[in-house]
Structure 1
Amino acid sequence: MESFRGKLLLATPELMDSNFHRSVVLVIEHNNDGAIGVVLNRQTEITSTEVLPKWVFSSSSDSLLFWGGPVQQESLLALGLLNQDSAALQNNLLNRITVIDLNQEIIDSELFTSARLYSGYSGWSPGQLNAEISSGGWIVAEANDNDPFVDQPTDLWSEVLERQEGFISRLAQYPDDPRMN
């Protein structure tokens, strides 16, 4: 089985689930037991410190809570972009991206150049993600270190599609509602 850990899933226009309309999901784990990921481009209006008072990342782009998916929305997960010096010290998800252990008493913000907090996650049972990809619901794409930390997360779906080759890149211009075209 090919693992999509560290890859992006881009919802295709055919994916009709309203939870994932134009979503960009970073796959955190994918094995024979299923898959887990977080939606990168759904920012909430809630500040991260409202749900996690010890959250130490206060830059404007890191301060808002993101919606990670429809599963266990009361749970929290954090992604961090490690600084160059710290990147070699961690078990990274992708290059400099790592999952931050929120059970730590103190989170060392000096290790990271950016971080995001997510409420809930996206989950797939064994074989479900592969079936959804095969049926045309998702496009698998390479992730860049900065994808989870962009300043304009609502533009991420189009930006990642534009990086792709061939016909897939043209989907970036696909209308939100093709009936209105």
Structure 2
Amino acid sequence: MTSDARPRAGMLLVATRALIDPNFAETVVLLLDVDDDGALGVVLNRPTPVAVSEVLEAWRDVVAEPEVLFQGGPVSTEGALAVGWLRDADDVPVGFRGVADLLGVVDLDTPVELVEGSLSGMRIFAGYAGWGAEQLAGEIEEGSWYVVPGSPTDVFRDDSTGLWRDVLRRQPGDLAWHSTRPADPELN
């Protein structure tokens, strides 16, 4: 069973049990950009042991707990991408590009003092997940991803270990049942 929603910025991709690629097994991906050329997102539930202060010292006081980098995906892992949550829709700082509602991408080249105080939360990701034109649609059709609505609270949880199950559990209908499905149903 897959969801019927079309992927768009701000939505979540939730890996199905059929997706065994170690880069994406049991992941939740926030889509940041979806167009005819492809899609780009970040994995929300892969924190690393690397403190933000070790690699991006200036941003250490702006990021949400836990103050670590997250593994955003297998593409361009040497680069960093930040997702922020605005405090006020009327106070959009320089370097912020809206994605959905109050969520957006923060340009890490922006001086911190121009952003500080404008965000309720910010998370920094090393790398990202990307799909070429029609690639994501094919993966959804083959049953690798559920496409579901996202929430800013999904992005900024203190503990992301239960995110995959929690996102599935809150879905309507049969999709919620997949949160309790074992990785290998034959072992059940």
Same fold at TM > 0.5? yes
Deviation at 1:173?
0.8
Which amino acid is 2:149 matched to? E
Distance in 2, matches of 1:4 and 1:127, equals 13
Tell me, yes or no, if the aligned pair for 1:8 and 1:140 is still in contact at 8 Å. yes
Kindly provide the CA deviation profile for residues 52-79 of structure 1, in whole angstroms up to 9, marking residues without a partner as x: 1211436771411100000010010011
Q: Say if 1:145 and 1:167 are closer, same or farther in 2 by CA, change over 3 A.
A: same
1:77 to 65, 76, 81: 81
Kindly indicate whether the alpha-carbon contact (under 8 Å) linking 2:53 and 2:59 is maintained by their aligned counterparts in 1. Answer: yes
Give the match for residue 110 of structure 1: 117
How many residues were matched structurally?
Answer: 178
Q: How is 1:83-122 mapped onto 2 (pairs within 5 angstroms)?
A: 83=87, 85=88, 87-90=89-92, 91-107=97-113, 108-122=115-129
Of 155, 160, 165, 2:167 maps to 160
Equivalent residues of 1:57, 1:115 under 8 A apart: no
1:30 alignment partner in structure 2: 34
Matched, 1:67 2:71: yes
**Cα offset, 1:146, TM superposition:** 1.2
What is the Cα deviation at residue 45 of structure 1?
A: 0.5
Q: Which amino acid aligns with 1:145?
A: P
Partner of 1:55: 59
Q: Using the TM superposition, give the Cα deviation of residue 120 of structure 1 relative to its aligned residue in structure 2, in angstroms.
A: 0.2
CA distance, structure 1, for counterparts of residue 64 and residue 103 of structure 2: 19
- Which moved further from structure 2: 94-103 or 113-122? 94-103
What SS does the aligned partner of 1:160 have? helix
Given the alignment, which residue of 160, 179, 182 partners 1:175?
182
Paired letter, 1:47? A
Q: Find the residue that maps to 1:152 and give its secondary structure.
A: coil
SS at match of 1:77: strand
- In the superposition, the TM-score normalised over structure 2's length comes to 0.88
| 1-structure distance, mates of 2:79, 2:63 | 23
Q: Structure 1-normalised TM-score?
A: 0.91
Cα displacement string for residues 40-59 of structure 1 (whole angstroms, at most 9, x for unaligned residues): 00001100111112114367
CA deviation string 1:107-130 (max 9, x = no partner): 522011111110000000111001
Report the Cα distance in structure 2 between the residues aligned to 1:69 and 1:59, rounded to whole angstroms. 19
Structural RMSD (CA): 1.7
Q: Which runs of 4+ in 1 moved over 6 A?
A: none
Offset at residue 88 of structure 1 (A) = 3.3
Tell whether the 8 Å contact from 1:56 to 1:109 is kept in structure 2 after alignment.
no
Paired with 1:173 and 1:95, the residues of 2 have a C-alpha distance of 30
Distance in 2 (CA, whole Å) between partners of 1:20 and 1:58 is: 28
What is the CA–CA distance in structure 2 between the aligned matches of 1:59 and 1:103, rounded to whole Å? 15
Q: How far has the Cα of 1:21 moved from its partner?
A: 0.5
Letter in 2 for 1:48: V
> Alignment identity in percent?
39
